[in-house]
Amino acid sequence: MSSAEPTEQTGPAVRSHPQHPQHAERPSRPAPMPGLAESARLLADSATTSTALVADALARIEAAQPTLNAFRHLRAEAALAEAAEADRRLAAGERLPLLGVPVAVKDDTDVAGLPTHFGCDGERPPVTADSEAVRRLRAAGAVIVGKTNSCELGQWPFTEGPAFGATRNPWNTAHTPGGSSGGSAAAVAAGLVPAALGSDGAGSVRIPAAWTHLVGIKPQRGRVSVHPHHDAFQGLTVNGPLARTVADAALLLDAAAGAHPDDFHRPPAVRASDAARRDPGRLRIALAWRPPLTLTGAGPDPEVRRAVAALAETLARLGHHVEEARPRYGLIGLTFVPRATAGIAEFAARHPEPALLDPRTRSALRTGTRLGGRVVRAARAREVRQHRRIGALFDASGYDVLLTPTTAAPPPRIGTFDRLSAWRTDVTMAAACPYAWPWNVLGWPGINVPAGFTRSGLPVGAQLLGPSRSEERLIALAAQLEDDLRWYEHRPPIS
């Protein structure tokens, strides 16, 4: 191949450019919410008001909540007051990248005045300060309308739990939108908000983006601050945007990006929105089907493989050189497990009522406690060698981008992971999602792009992965694909 629990007031065959005739004509549907960049433009041109956009978002959220259950908390009164203030500032001539635009953030992210449950049951007091990412979104003018559901401590590729029930996929509500940023993905895919912030510690932005037909960016470690945490989940977790278009995801990334003075990781700034308007040039792209060793024997489902192969053909048609290759992953999982479980243990140990935690979380807490200290330090020390070994794909072999499936399987049905033991949950999860997590170990950027649909209409995705600090190249390539495939034209039944 070449060339919420109630909200709180405080398709056809897989192809690279799928059609959905069964959903193409829906005259009773409300007009779609404008995207992030379009909302900002309409506000700057005085073609709408922030009050109108925020009120519309809140109404959509309330209407969809019984079906999708995307939100843990709403800020209805506060958001409308902030929208009115944004309208005054706009009328006075002030302009900011997101002034008056409604967005949502995942409920692992501190928003002053709301608790941060991170998918857990039990009571938590409201936090007193915004996280750095939220502070930057507010500084760009965004109005935070609420916090979206996450599975417990972000551990799993589904968004279900006793604390809030099940968050459902707007393409088919019998299926999960993925996790752990499933609430953010469901909210954006259904058009409840133009874009949302998620977090990605093992694919938790990219997996739900794949399963809801969105663009999801996992940025370079440190690109978007995780403060008040300094090195979340032993350096595995980063914050990143979910949106329907590359331009919207890039705009949210630009707004949220930047370090807190206490942050450990400080990559040089990028201009994501500029990259979304740039031709990527002719690139050498490695297509990898074989995932890293997970001991599950997992490979891509035939429909996933067909979709990603079609997207690879599109890249070749656009002039890129695409060929199959095998990254040298080695035994990278042996360093992922101590870091991931130690991170879970650190968060779980802060829960005020440990008995309320899922038994699988308590199992991970015990494992992480055993593997903490010297073992996790040794795991982190191996990262430099992993950079060299896997980075040889780019440095020695001369590839610019690695293309893989984002997941090995389409989105599972709601309840698939219910009543599984910790071990069976991990095995089932690793078989469905073996591709995303190595890039969290490396700290390098990746982007999920929509790759098509299964014959039953469930979305699947592909990852564009790059070496250190390669967001701009990946964003430019994703934008070129989007211009050709126009995936944003396809909307789910619930939208």
Check residue 443 and give left, alpha or beta (phi > 0: left; psi -120 to 50: alpha).
Answer: left
Query: Are residues 460 and 410 in contact, defined by beta-carbon separation less than 8 angstroms?
Result: yes
Residue 456, preceding bond cis, omega within 30 degrees? no
Tokens 């909302």 belong to 39
Choose the catalytic residue: 106, 225, 363, 470.
Answer: 106
Task: Give CA separation, 485 vs 21, 242, 314, in Å.
Answer: 16, 18, 9
Q: Is 2 a catalytic residue?
A: no
Name, in order, each residue with C-beta under 8 angstroms of 445's C-beta and a sequence gap of 6 or more.
Answer: 217, 218, 219, 220, 223, 439, 465, 466, 469, 470, 471, 474
What's the gap between Cα 425 and its chain centre? Answer: 21
Choose the catalytic residue: 16, 39, 180, 225.
Answer: 180
3-state secondary structure of 471: helix
Provide DSSP, 197-252.
EEEESSSTTHHHHHHHT-EEEEPPTTSB--TTSSSTTTTT-EEEEEESSHHHHHHH
Task: Give CA separation, 111 vs 108, 115, 129, in Å.
Answer: 9, 8, 7
Cα separation of 466 and 403, whole Å? 9
Q: Is 106 a catalytic residue?
A: yes
Task: Give CA separation, 17 vs 213, 295, 376, in Å.
Answer: 12, 34, 43
Does an H or E element contain 107, and which? none
Could you tell me which of 175, 176, 166, 146 has the C-alpha nearest to residue 73? 146
Provide DSSP, 26-55.
-TTSPPPPP-HHHHHHHHHTTSS-HHHHHH
Choose the catalytic residue: 50, 204, 273, 495.
Answer: 204
Neighbours of 53 (CB within 10 A): 25
Half-sphere exposure of 52 (CA within 13 A, CB side): 10
Q: Is 16 a catalytic residue?
A: no
3-state secondary structure of 314: helix
Strand order in the sheet with 446-453: 71-74, 143-148, 102-106, 195-200, 238-243, 215-218, 446-453, 459-465, 401-405, 284-287, 321-324
E strands, 332-490, in order: 401-405, 446-453, 459-465
**Residues that are catalytic:** 106, 180, 204
